[in-house]
Amino acid sequence: MGNDAHIDVRLDRLPRSVMMVRVGEPSSFVTDNATVASVLAAYMAESNVPLGTPVFFMLDQRALPEEERYICTADWRVVVDAIKTLIVRGAPAIGIAGAAAVALRAAEFTWANVEDMNDSIGKVYRTYISDGGGFDPSMYWSALEFAADMIAEARPTAVSLRNGCDRALAMVRRDLHEGADALDISFDLFDLVCLMIEEDERINRAIGLAGAAYLKPNSRVLTYCNAGSLATAFYGTALGVVYTAAGQGKVERVFACETRPVNQGARLTIWELALAGVPTTLLCDNMQASLMAQGEVDAVIVGADRIAANGDVANKIGTYELAIVAAHNNVPFYVAAPVSTIDFSLSNGSGIPIEQRPPTEVIGEVPEGVSVYNPSFDVTPASLVTAFITERGVYLSDELEELAVPLQTDEERFDAAAQAIHDAQGALQQAAAFMQ
């Protein structure tokens, strides 16, 4: 039965949403993509950045699906603005972007000996350029800490953004303690961002393997907003489950809600799924209840921006009502997210800050005397969540405390993500053998 729904999932067609490179250094991201190469060349010509400068690429998701356009920058403030304006979006992706913004801020302190500072370097806009003797660790730390706070507040609901900034600051603190200078730290931060990008894909693939085991053959899956590859470094959380399950012959069709008011589902999710070759049907947000009442949905899978310790979930506005409808129709409601999305400092969802977005997202011109209520997120009670799909397995809300472990080193995080994929693959092999 499962073989009847086998889908050749074309992940090779999906673009990378974020990437960090150094100008002039080899990168397959640049050499394998003519569009990216031309964007970098244009940026180098316009900004006159010297070789070795770290630059951050972001797929402009405001332009999708009409245009696949990248923005390239060495300016951390451009990244902050990109996070605020949804150029880069999705909890995992903005977590990486947050760390990248800290790295770009740190690169502004990169020093060169005065006698080596040529005219081209002098024309690069940087807040601080000093020689080695002028490096002040105290000023450096204060500036980076201040910038990290600004970056983290760009979108306050997603805990991953703060986590990304904190990971970058932790590396800076360690390096300063060991006597490193600005140049050493800049290289370490660049490596950290690259590690986070690779780590995120591994985590997402592990989430996909864990969640696919909970879908039956020929499942019809409903999803909301975009928790796909576009929202991560690559592969996706909720859609990561879909891609893995589709490759196993378990997905008949995906129903994607349009997700008002910015239409991430209608603009991004259906475009991404279509590129990957997964059968997809678009729904208006007010059609989900009717579809579930007809028995046309086997599971709902969504992502998350922050999960409280008790399992309350902050996600795109409208998720709460979707969970209510799913519960009323006895449809399993799954939340797929990395363990890092769980904020164990919050006992429940009442403490999650909810970002308020501009009224122009709802209506182009607000009539006089009219106010617009436009929260970007709502909080779904843990009681409505069937289970949480993470890279470390699938958990009920009262089991999440098992995931409250001390912060790991970056190397341990990377190894844990790789081990999670290995463990999930082994579990699937055992399950297949048992079913034969």
The one catalytic residue in 166, 188, 285, 305 is 305
305 is catalytic: yes
* Strand order, beta sheet including 299-302: 280-283, 251-257, 219-223, 299-302, 333-336, 387-390, 393-395
- Cα–Cα distance, 156 to 137 (Å, whole number): 28
- Round to whole Å and give the CA distance between 311 and 335: 10
Is there a contact between 303 and 337 (Cβ–Cβ < 8 Å)? yes
Dihedral angle, C-alpha 129, 132, 136, 141, nearest 10 ° = 70
Coil, helix or strand for 166? helix
According to DSSP, the β-strands at 251-257 and 280-283 are: parallel
Phi, psi at residue 380, to the nearest 5°? Answer: -90, 125
The helix (run of H) or strand (run of E) holding residue 251 is: strand 251-257
DSSP string of 259-300, one letter each residue: -TTTTHIIIIIHHHHHHHT--EEEE-GGGHHHHHHTT--SEE
Ordered strands of the 313-316 beta sheet: 342-343, 306-308, 313-316, 377-380
Tell me the β-bridge partners of 389.
336, 394
Cβ atoms 128, 109 nearer than 8 A:
yes
* Token pair listed for 395: 């958990």
Burial (CB < 10 A; 0-12, 13-18, 19+), residue 403, is middle
Q: What sign has the CA pseudo-torsion 25, 26, 31, 35?
A: negative
Query: Are the C-beta atoms of 311 and 397 separated by less than 8 Å?
Result: yes
Q: Please report the beta strands in 170-242, taking only residues with DSSP state E, as ranges in sequence order.
A: 219-223
Active site residues: 305
